[in-house]
Amino acid sequence: MIDSVLVANRGEIACRIVRTCRELGIRTVAVHSDADAHALHTRVADAAVRLPGTAPADTYLRGDLIVRAALAAGADAVHPGYGFLSENAGFARAVLDAGLKWIGPPPEAIEAMASKTRAKKLMGLEPLATVTADDLPVLVKAAAGGGGRGMRVVRDLADLDAELAAARAEALGAFGDDEVFVEPYVEGGRHVEVQVLADTHGTVWTLGTRDCTLQRRHQKVIEEAPAPGLAPELTDSLCAMAVRAARAVDYVGAGTVEFLVADGRAQFLEMNTRLQVEHPVTEEVFGVDLVALQIRIAEGAALDHEPPRARGHAIEARLYAEDPARGWAPQTGTLHRLAVPGVRLDTGYADGDTIGVHYDPMLAKAVVHAPTRAEAVRRLAGALERAEIHGPVTNRDLLVRSLRHEDFTAARMDTGFYDRHLAGLTGPAPDPYAPLAAALADAHGRSRFGGWRNLPSQEQVKRYLVAGEEREVRYRHIREGLAADGVRVVHADADLVVLEVDGVRRKFAMARYGDQVYAGTTALTALPRFREPIADHAPGSLLAPMPGTVVRVAEGLAVGSSVRAGEPLFWLEAMKMEHKITAPAAGTLTALPVAPGQQVELGTLLAVVESDQP
């Protein structure tokens, strides 16, 4: 029996594993980088061990330090979670060699499947050895990859070499392995996967299908189980292939076999030899705890001969601290409030935690289960719409609109969904009365000491920034309290404002954190009474769109270089993703104040390009 588990991971998945261990009466040990010293996963575990440094290569990817931490803390087993070292056969062997239990598949199975190239050969498939114009588009993919890292779609043969180099560099930094391969990129397909679970006694379960088609940057955004609209024969075929893959490597534990489905046919993509981020939808449909089953299998327990029966439909949305309208730019800062009513919320954050620049920007996974898909979609969209999310910009509005989009509700989605619909899903839609509510809530505290006078009241003016636009509102102090033209103020205090507009009452729950104001679900920034001077930058200045690290500068780029409009100049890494910074216009580089390895803050000057145009 396992008595103590070290969780070799961080954030949401570490908290998820700790929760199950606590229910089973198992003690837990967390590991943390310096950036995660006060993270939630370190607070909920029974013990925590520091991994000095902040970069993944120095901390969560250091298997030797993690094994040492497990032994020092008295753990007798290691759970790798997902990402980092979860598909690293060498780490699994090191855990076992240290006399610890490994809550995962045998190292040999990881080795066979963790390399996407070897996995494809095992399933009778071969990557492209050479690429011609007739093969386009193609997908460059990291052999040891996952989570969208080290992946590039190439549509022009002239871009292939550059994208191969970029994928290798990203894969090396993320996984310590720069092997990449090229395969055909199927447009208009769906990403469907099968959950497998195998014990040491020869039983292999398949726990239905999941659809993970809605993705950005090859990372999943919305997932559901079962995959809607699949013919029963295709579902049976997918499950049979998944069992074949598991048995081919004598698999043990939880794993996922992924496919691309197009025109009623399935193409094997890979087998992930670990738990998946989206595992909760399978848990909800089958009524199981996959982490608990992983632990019991590691203890030698046998699965029942047949898996439990599926019931209903489950859907999960990943809530990210990012701005979809600005190239999915990750966001940082204090998460003041996170509350999503009526859902299962798997998260690695609590109110007041800081979202930093070092790791994935996912805040939480919101999961619902209902008798039908339509009911599950409606419940999740409604819960997200009412959620209190106070802090950096998130993709919440995108999720709500995606769930309500006619192509999604009709299950007509494919992997190009966001390529086609992003503009329509990200337009700002703030409540038009939110600025007035914010002004009235602020004025409530100021009106207690004689705000009203027995004279005509002068209008008070407040300015707010809402969805990038400045809004000005006016109100007055009157005998009854506060008033505004065209609106009846039913109630106004610092926590709640109720306005009546054309006979309809509108309620705004209020919150304020410095200059940041929340009126219902609308975020506003209170502007100062007098405008402050704006810092001047030379024309053609390139400013960092997010805090991060300059990981690469274009080869040969130097002051005096000629650049083309749209030409890549820098690559910033922030929250596990690389972001390409391009020249705003054709011209000459006249300033280059940054270098690879340099940390930059939001708004840092990266370069100046003097345009060729007069």
Q: HEC string of 298-343?
A: HCCCCCCCCCCCCCCEEEEEEEECEEHHHCCEECCEEECEEECCCC
Q: What angle do CA 147, 280, 382 make, to 5 degrees?
A: 100
pLDDT at position 424 is 92
Confirm or reject CATH 3.40.50.360 for domain 434-526, answering yes or no: no
Q: Give the three-class secondary structure for 173.
A: helix
| Contacting residues for 509 by C-beta, under 8 A, at least 6 apart | 388, 495, 496, 518, 519, 520
- Is the CB of residue 505 less than 8 Å from the CB of residue 456? no
The Cα 568–Cα 584 span in angstroms is: 10
User: Among residues 308, 303, 304, 302, which one has the least CA distance to residue 285?
Assistant: 308
Tokens coding 148:
């969208």
Beta-bridge partners for 138 = 154, 184
Asked whether the beta carbons of 392 and 331 are under 8 A apart, the reply is yes
Residue range 138-184 forms a domain whose CATH class is: alpha beta
Q: What is the rounded CA–CA span in Å between residue 421 and residue 45?
A: 41
586 neighbors 544 (Cβ within 8 angstroms): no
pLDDT at residue number 572: 84
Residues in the chain: 614
Cα separation of 580 and 561, whole Å?
Answer: 18
Q: Which helix (H) or strand (E) holds 67?
A: helix 63-73
Tokens coding 91: 């780490």
pTM: 0.85
CB contact at 8 A, 307 and 207: yes
pLDDT per position as a tens digit, 354-393:
999 889 899 999 999 999 999 999 999 999 999 999 999 9
Cβ(209)–Cβ(278) below 8 Å:
no
Say if CB 69 and CB 57 are below 8 A apart. Answer: no
Query: Mean pLDDT in runs of 10 for the chain (614 residues)?
Result: 98 98 98 97 98 95 98 98 95 98 97 80 78 86 71 88 86 78 82 98 98 92 97 96 95 96 89 96 98 98 97 98 91 96 97 93 97 98 98 97 98 94 91 96 66 61 91 90 92 96 96 96 88 62 82 88 89 76 89 88 86 78
Q: In the prediction, which pLDDT does 366 show?
A: 98
Note the pLDDT of residue 470. Answer: 92
**How far apart (Å, rounded) are the C-alpha atoms in residues 124 and 354?**
47
541-611: in CATH 3.75.10.10: no
Class of the 190-426 domain? Answer: alpha beta
pLDDT in the model for residue 530: 65
- For tokens 């700002």, the residue is 428
The pLDDT score that the predictor gives to residue 457 is 60
In three-state secondary structure terms, 103 is: coil
Cβ–Cβ < 8 Å for 215, 392: no
CA distances from 234 to 533, 549, 614 (A): 63, 45, 61
Q: Is CATH 3.40.50.20 correct for 4-103? A: yes
pLDDT of residue 217: 82
Where do the domains of the chain lie?
4-103, 138-184, 190-426, 434-526, 541-611
